[in-house]
Structure 1
Amino acid sequence: MHTALIETLLEYEVRSPAHFLFNIETAFHDGHHVVEERLTITPSMKVRNFCDERSGNRFIRLDAPKGLLSVNYRAQVELMPAPVPLHLDEAPVTGVPDDVLRYLMPSRYCESDVMSRAAQQLFGQLPPGIGRVRAIENWIHESIYYLPGFSNSTTTSQEVFVQRAGVCRDFAHLGITLCRALNIPARLVVGYVHFEEPPQDFHAVFEAWLDDRWVIFDPTHMAPIDRLVRVGTGRDAKDVAFATIFGDVQMTRKELTVDEGDVTPTPPDDSKPPALTVVTA
């Protein structure tokens, strides 16, 4: 059994009263078990928590007054990754479940409709299945240069394809787009994972729907994907932003640490949610 110790510190200068939506807590997901977690908000204020039942994403909402805002999240998580079979088939469109169908559609950052010709030229002749998605993953890794600061929050997968550079979010968006263009449902996953080379940050990968299950792929090859602690799952980055802010706000600090270790398994108690402690000071 593998464990991850996670800490996130976000600080903001709030120039006028603003509303925040955070997605930084460990998601409710079968791949891991939250042993304990603690959320500290400074200054003291009312905090609202809710969970999107479809994705398992957990959200924090708050109204921050003018001044400094600090958000600190700490968690200990046991990872329980499922093995991935060597052979998995693609599903025909008619066999895609209703709740998965939306991951076949183009979205803001994943223009699979306009990338269809490129996807067919590159991968259309490959045998359908997990091997074809592996080929997409490897092509992105070999063809797109990992370059922090090159792209921005509005960069789309088509732009990444043309410019041949980006960061993990861009790599994942391109993987999603190429899969969808081949009628393979795909979606974005963002989470915490330990990198051998700091600085630590949120990491983005993608999942493809194969043989009635979601399978994770990481075109960056930067970290072991079976050690990713899931935070957000969605169509693209608009669904899984770690912070969505309504107001005049400037981020002044963002620090993430992810430490790893081996632990004795603790059977999860499915009868109650994780023991989240919320402190406002």
Structure 2
Amino acid sequence: MSPLAVPELDVTVRVGCSLAYEATGPAWLLLSLKPRPNRNHAIVFQALTLGDNLPAEEFTDSHGNQVFRVALTPGTHSFRHDAIVSVSSQPDNHDLPPSAPLTPGELPPAVLRYTLPSRYCDSDKLTNFAWEKFGQVEHGLPRVQAISQWVHENIEYRYFSGRPDLSAWDVLQRGYGVCRDFAHLAVALNRAFNLPARYVTGHLADIGVSEPVDHMDFHAYAEVYLGGHWFTTDARFHVPRIGRIKVSCGQDAVDSAFSTIYGGATLSYFQVWAYQVERGTVGVGDLLDFSKRLDNQQTVLTDAPR
């Protein structure tokens, strides 16, 4: 398998988040906020503030995510990540070759765990349903796309309906959810056919689309391993999107949470931003100014001279 070329990164996006936690006693956070290294984006500048110089340790977890372990003392603690990132103006998967799925005997050992049931992607409960709905669809990318289309058309998206205790099976039964639920169900259905699938979180600006609700948040979707490459599949939108900035991935949301709390602490403030800007006009740490936003429209503006 030859390595893929780096695409032209001709769009600039500002992404980040501001979080606050109230700690009532000793507590610790695992924070995954910095974008992962990826051929489809490049960090121009980024800044991360971890409270008031709180003790922190950075490490890479078993899925390749960058994680900070932060110790909290009683009181209020604020965290902020802000980044300027270059992305491609081309949509998802545009340069990936048509690929046949690999058998479990051909898969790299590190990928095998993404074929197995997990806490939120309980594919073992969905096997009969998956074969009834998609068993006649050609194995591989056609089946991946059919699963995405079915979830998109049959699961209702409801803002603020998410719950931390719902598995893919639960989402299928109730018939609605948020992007986390769409991703878990898509991942589980693909795993029912031994297709390695992983849960992904990151930022997604509205480049080339108009979003009437205009609600910026962390976004969850899926990737499926076909022929040696990870293909993006997003049942929430079911259309190729531009400018995904991947932060973390794993077997399900347990591995990909932006924060995991140990001890007496609660999230008290939460803001996320992801929007296109003109290159060179915005810096990390600047006040958020959505009048500088270039996306949320059908036209795709690039950094080339206009």
The aligned counterpart of 1:103 is: 114
The aligned counterpart of 2:159 is: 148
> Residue 31 of structure 1 contacts residue 82 of structure 1 at CA under 8 Å; is this kept in 2?
no
Normalising by structure 2, we get a TM-score of 0.81
Deviation at 1:87, TM superposition (A): 3.4
Deviations 1:256-277 (A, max 9, x none): 111214659xxxxxxxxxxx99
Structure 1 residue 162 corresponds to structure 2 residue 203: no
> Residue 29 of structure 1 contacts residue 56 of structure 1 at CA under 8 Å; is this kept in 2?
no
Structure 1 residue 76 corresponds to structure 2 residue 84: yes
Normalising by structure 1, we get a TM-score of 0.88
In 1, the alpha carbon distance for the partners of 2:268 and 2:239 equals 27
Give secondary structure in 2 for the equivalent of 1:113.
Answer: helix
Structure 1 residue 178 corresponds to structure 2 residue 189: yes
User: What is the one-letter code of the residue matched to 2:125?
Assistant: V
In 2, the alpha carbon distance for the partners of 1:222 and 1:215 equals 13
- The correspondence of residues 94-243 of structure 1 with structure 2, limited to 5 A, is 94-195=105-206, 196=211, 197-221=213-237, 225-243=241-259
Count, aligned residues:
265
% identity of equivalent residues: 32
In 2, the alpha carbon distance for the partners of 1:125 and 1:152 equals 33
In 2, the alpha carbon distance for the partners of 1:86 and 1:243 equals 35
User: What is the one-letter code of the residue matched to 2:60?
Assistant: C
Of 76-85 and 121-130, more deviation after overlay is shown by: 76-85
Runs (4+) of structure 1 exceeding 4 A deviation are none
Structure 1 residue 66 corresponds to structure 2 residue 82: no
In 1, the alpha carbon distance for the partners of 2:194 and 2:59 equals 32
> Residue 93 of structure 2 contacts residue 231 of structure 2 at CA under 8 Å; is this kept in 1?
no
Among 13, 18, 34, which residue is 1:4 paired with? Answer: 13
Give secondary structure in 2 for the equivalent of 1:153.
Answer: coil
Give secondary structure in 2 for the equivalent of 1:159.
Answer: helix
In 1, the alpha carbon distance for the partners of 2:16 and 2:161 equals 27
> Residue 28 of structure 1 contacts residue 56 of structure 1 at CA under 8 Å; is this kept in 2?
no
The aligned counterpart of 2:58 is: 49
Deviation at 1:224, TM superposition (A): 5.4
Deviations 1:239-270 (A, max 9, x none): 01111111111211100111214659xxxxxx
In 2, the alpha carbon distance for the partners of 1:86 and 1:7 equals 32
Gaps spanning 5+ residues in structure 1: where?
Answer: 265-275
Deviations 1:93-117 (A, max 9, x none): 2211111111000000111112111
Gaps spanning 5+ residues in structure 2: where?
Answer: 1-9, 286-306
RMSD of the TM alignment (CA)? 2.1
Deviations 1:107-159 (A, max 9, x none): 00111112111000000111112111111000000000011333400100001
